Amino acid sequence: MRLSGVLPPPRFAQRRRLVDPATGNVLDDGLVLWFPAPHSATGEDVAELHVHGSRAVLASLMDLLRGFGLRLAEPGEFTRRGFVNGKLDLLQAEAIADLTAAETEAQRRQARRQLNGELSDLYQGWRDRLITALAHLEAAIDFPDEDLPPEIDDRILDETQALIAQIENHLADGHRGEKLRDGISIAILGPPNAGKSTLLNRIVRREAAITSPIPGTTRDVVEAAIDLQGYPVVLADTAGLRDSDDIIEQEGLRRALQRAEEAEIRLFVFDASCPAEAHAASAWPGPDTILIANKIDLVPKSSHRSSGGREKDIERRAIPVSALTGAGMDALMKALAGRVAENYRLEAPVVTRARHRQALEEAAFSLRRALLASLPELRAEDLRLALRSLGRITGAVDVEDLLDVIFRDFCIGK
């Protein structure tokens, strides 16, 4: 108000001149918005000034605001205040960080779902059921002589068992939520000279490369991060698969095999003119290994499908491409994107962070121990521990030590 004269009505944008009250100087004119508490993102009184974004305008405005005793927000401070004031829980705060960092459509969708409270509802639902079970158990402990329903013990055990099953099922999600945040790993492998590097380059040039590198990935295998029709993918080009006496080559091979093993999807490339080379692909059976017959530009059309038996089968299953000319690449990218989409069609909410996974594993552990407890008091203690583990995910308990870690990674202004 000291800056803009009359405040606009709450939550309405109005154009105002922003004037230094001490000198009467007009600093700028722009939009002013006013969100009185508690109906704001942080739950506190919030004012927004939309001004011309030049350095000089911002500097003069910031100087003035500093004179009023205001300061710049720390990274994540708005979200943190929103959490402290009960506007959102920790899962939703983390979703805001994910949404801000989202580089692909699938990452955006996952963060939005979490921000909408899908995961919060799931975990809170489990907590509520656990609270009820614990309340029943405590009643049975405190009032053993009262007329409590005789089947109460069975009901508590059944509920504990049901919760264990649901948490374990939720944990057995193939880490898909975490992979969607970090990048889905696809390994390119095959014999030397099959054209793996050429293929990687061709794919990366076709797809929009994601600019920020994904941290924590090994550098000895050449990697490229791309946005594959909305999915964040990290493509790794591995050393050629062949027997060797060379120690360095053996190490390269060991890493290639490990990478191939860990990858979500494998692209096995072989030279279309020597389909016998494709035999090594049989080490990775299943739909997550896509066979690619490369260099079809070198194979005369008439000689296609000329080999017999097993080779014929491999040729039939392989997608024919030429990494050099680009022939067949559309079909390959379609097959690859289809495979990824198939694996990541997420109906139910999935675990999105290691922090949540650890808490869920602890909760399941406590619940399993509760089932085995010899005394009701011990069982109650285990249920309380499980409750605490679940509460830590949404921030209902034990938040203080977590806050700095969680909000550290936010950007300024969020």
List residues near ligand GDP by CB under 6 A: 192-198, 240, 294-295, 297-298, 322-324
Q: Smaller CB distance to ligand GDP: residue 198 or 307?
A: 198
- CB 295 to ligand GDP: min, Å: 4
Residue 219: Cβ within 10 Å count: 7
CA atoms within 13 A on the CB side of 324: 10
- CB 200 to ligand GDP: min, Å: 8
- CB 326 to ligand GDP: min, Å: 9
Structural contact between residues 4 and 32, judged by C-beta atoms closer than 8 angstroms:
yes
- CB 302 to ligand GDP: min, Å: 18
CA distances from 258 to 69, 238, 239 (A): 57, 10, 11
Q: Smaller CB distance to ligand GDP: residue 274 or 324?
A: 324
CA nearest to 185, candidates 256, 258, 234, 239: 234
Q: Smaller CB distance to ligand GDP: residue 98 or 315?
A: 315
At 199, the amino acid letter reads: L
Q: Smaller CB distance to ligand GDP: residue 203 or 323?
A: 323
- CB 244 to ligand GDP: min, Å: 13
Q: Smaller CB distance to ligand GDP: residue 132 or 303?
A: 303
What distance in Å separates the CA atoms of residue 85 and residue 94, rounded to the nearest whole number?
16
Residue nearest to ligand GDP (CB): 195
- CB 202 to ligand GDP: min, Å: 8
Reading the block at residue 206, the tokens are 């076709």
- CB 333 to ligand GDP: min, Å: 15
Q: Smaller CB distance to ligand GDP: residue 61 or 323?
A: 323
| Residue in the block written with tokens 């030049």 | 54
Q: Which residues of 405-414 are buried (b: 16+ CB within 10 A; e: fewer)?
A: ebbeebeeeb
DSSP 356-386: HHHHHHHHHHHHHHHHH-SSHHHHHHHHHHH
Reading the block at residue 314, the tokens are 């491999």
What distance in Å separates the CA atoms of residue 185 and residue 176, rounded to the nearest whole number?
11
- CB 117 to ligand GDP: min, Å: 47
Q: Smaller CB distance to ligand GDP: residue 82 or 320?
A: 320
Structural contact between residues 119 and 94, judged by C-beta atoms closer than 8 angstroms:
no
Residues in the chain: 414
Residue 41: Cβ within 10 Å count: 17
Q: Smaller CB distance to ligand GDP: residue 294 or 394?
A: 294
What distance in Å separates the CA atoms of residue 294 and residue 195, rounded to the nearest whole number?
7
